[in-house]
Structure 1
Amino acid sequence: MDVPLTQTAYDDAATRRAWRRTASFRLCAFLLSLASFVAWLYAVLLTPVWTLWVLMPALLVLIYVAMLNTARVSGVLSLRRILRVYPWQSVPGAASIAKNGTTRFSFTDPEHPDPDKRVSLGYGSFLGSGYTFWIRKVRSGDVDEVWFAGDPRFLGVVAVPGPRRLMGVAQREAVDCRTSARKRGVSPEARERAKAAGARVG
């Protein structure tokens, strides 16, 4: 499937539909996380006291899942911001499994004189990530080509061609204020685009 020839990814109608699906799915997952606490409390009130030995570990799991879903739903606007700055590009063979079991996306450095110079973005370092689409499908070899919108030196959105399964990826220094923002090897134009997409730039 060919990438849309639009100025930005979000100019493509299929991309806007994919973003809306992603936003709806993440919002529903977030609301279900909140509802699970009500169900847990209901179970506590209707069962004997001794069942707390079982229910307390379940509460810890629910809290962790709720934290993940909160982060995901808050990242939906970040996806749209990136898609409004960068166009899609097709990158065959970009996804692979790293030695630590996470998914690694490798892209060409857009401004390096050596065309073989690669920049990697990782995904899947959190607990339970092995059950997610991007770990399972890459590990099984079902994902070859990916679509990428962004600058791999900062951040971007990866998707299954279509696009489907939108997911944000980022270098730590582009989103974490506890690290130093990247300054070297980036032109002023690329820096301004990354800043417009929501990245920290030097």
Structure 2
Amino acid sequence: MTSAVHYKTAWEDPATRQAWRRTAMFRCAALLGWLLGFPTWLFAVVMTPTWLLVLWLPVLWVGIWYTLLAMVAVTTLRGIRRVLRVYPWQVDIAEVRAKKKGSTQFVVPVPERPEKSVSLGYGGLLGTGQHFWVRAMKSGEVTSAWFAGDPRYVGVVATPGPRNLLWVAQREATDSRMSPRKRGVSPEARALARAAGARVGEG
């Protein structure tokens, strides 16, 4: 059986494609569950005394927030697939660290200058504390991870297998209000990052 790291791109690995499908099914099911919660909430409001509305309103706001988080998780599925179709897996190259406000930081060497590293973060928002990568970091269960991508732009982290796929990105690689990173990056690296869905600028 060919190891995942021996393929030209991570997507060529059958185990990686299976992991992506599992991730997609789980995230779509979670979003559907939250969406179905709104009719349930409305039914509960109609069937209970009016004075209980003061209790049901906070439940509504929590439901809206978690639905938004679930929608964001679903929208990143395409980004995960784009990265995996461009880059190969690099085993245990990303160091996993704790960051402020309960978030997780992935420290990855720069492809063209491995003596230097770049950090990508996840979490720190209300509702992300129970995500696998935040819980695993707090418990010390995971200290390193597989990585596919370019840490100066976008990437995907995973535990060995691969499992627990997570899309991560530098803000300037996705936010049109910021100038994309160009300094110190070769044309070849920028072309790969562009193919993976990152903003790399012109020239």
Match of 2:5, SS state, is: coil
For 1:156, the equivalent position in structure 2 comes to: 155
Q: Which residue of 2 aligns with 1:71?
A: 72
What are the Cα deviations for residues 167-201 of structure 1, in whole angstroms up to 9, with x where unaligned? 00000000111111101011111001000000000
Q: Is residue 26–residue 69 contact of structure 1 (8 Å, CA) maintained in 2?
A: yes
Whichever residue aligns with residue 97 of structure 1, its letter is A
Shift of 1:120: 0.6
Using the alignment, how far apart are the partners of 1:176 and 1:126 within structure 2? 18
Is the Cα–Cα contact under 8 Å of residues 173 and 182 in structure 1 kept in the other structure? yes
> Using a 3 Å threshold, how does the CA distance of structure 1 residues 76 and 43 change in structure 2: closer, same or farther?
same
Report what 1:129 is aligned to. Answer: 128
Cα distance, 1:3 vs structure 2: 4.2
Percent identity over the alignment is 54
TM-score normalised according to structure 2 size:
0.94
Describe the SS at the equivalent of 2:157: strand
Q: Could you say if the C-alpha distance between residues 92 and 21 of structure 1 is closer, same or farther in structure 2, counting changes exceeding 3 Å?
A: same
**Greater displacement, 70-79 / 125-134:** 125-134
Summarize the alignment of residues 80-159 of structure 1 with structure 2, pairs less than 5 Å apart: 80-91=81-92, 94-112=95-113, 115-159=114-158
- Structure-1-length-normalised TM-score: 0.95
The separation in 2 between residues aligned to 1:77 and 1:146, in whole angstroms, is 21
Counterpart of 1:168 in structure 2 is: 167
1:5-50 residue CA offsets vs partner (Å, 9 max, x unmatched) = 0010000000000000000000001101110001001101111101
Give yes or no for contact 1:173–1:181 (8 Å, CA) kept in 2.
Answer: yes
Paired position in structure 2 for 1:5: 6
Say yes or no: does 1:192 pair with 2:184: no
Gaps of 5+ in 1: none
Letter in 2 for 1:62: G
1:78, distance to aligned residue in structure 2 (A): 1.1
Q: How far off is 1:91 after superposition?
A: 2.3
| Equivalent residues, number | 199
| Range with greater deviation from structure 2 (117-126 or 161-170) | 117-126
1:23 aligned partner: 24
The answer on whether the counterparts of 1:111 and 1:185 sit within 8 Å (CA) in structure 2 is no
Deviation, 1:116, is 2.3
Distance 2:93 2:143 in 1: 6
State the Cα deviation string for residues 62-117 of structure 1 (Å, max 9, x = none).
000011111111111111111000000012561010244321100111112xx321
CA distance in 2 between partners of 1:126 and 1:187 (Å): 34
Q: Is the 8 A contact 1:91 1:107 kept in 2?
A: no
CA RMSD of aligned residues (A): 1.2
Amino acid of the residue matched to residue 59 of structure 2? A
Secondary structure of the residue aligned to 1:21 is: helix
Cα offset, 1:4, TM superposition? 2.8
Structure 1 position 130, deviation (Å): 1.7
